[in-house]
Homo-oligomer: A and B are copies of this chain.
């Protein structure tokens, strides 16, 4: 294994699984690593990536594993499209997703971007889940470009 991130998270994976009396399997390692490598991936994309390495892995395993990894706190998901959820590693700093609906590009911003928002809602006792936040709109280059057909 030559990937730093993967190496770091694989220790956590083993540890946290053990804590819960769960088992470390090749599938779980591969799926966690796929999420880390892909940065923002839907279950489908994770499946495709993992199958590139081990073709026998099943879709249901991906769904079940992402759920487990999320419970263990190793991955998180946000909704970056009208469709599937996208998963990302919690090794990355918590960040806010800003999505252009025209070109589907996703940019990550530091959480300070929503500092005022979080503070304002905190006054009402509301705790914002910043990592789950997705902000939609149109990016600079798409705004500059004429409307699509």
Contact = CB atoms under 8 A, between A and B. Distances in A.
Nearest to A116: B116
Given A82-B79, A85-B82, A135-B121, A98 B126 contact: yes
**How many chain copies?**
2
A129 to B, nearest CB: 5
Interface stretch (A17-25, A58-66, A138-146): A138-146
Contacts of A5: none
Interface residues of A, number: 30
Contact of A125 (B115, B127, B140): B140
A129 B125 contact: no
Contacts of A127: 137-138, 143
Interface string A94-120: 000010110000000000011111001
B113 A137 contact: no
A132 B101 CA distance: 11
Nearest to A125: B140
Interface of A: 79, 82, 85, 98, 100-101, 113-117, 120-121, 124-129, 132-133, 135-141, 143-144
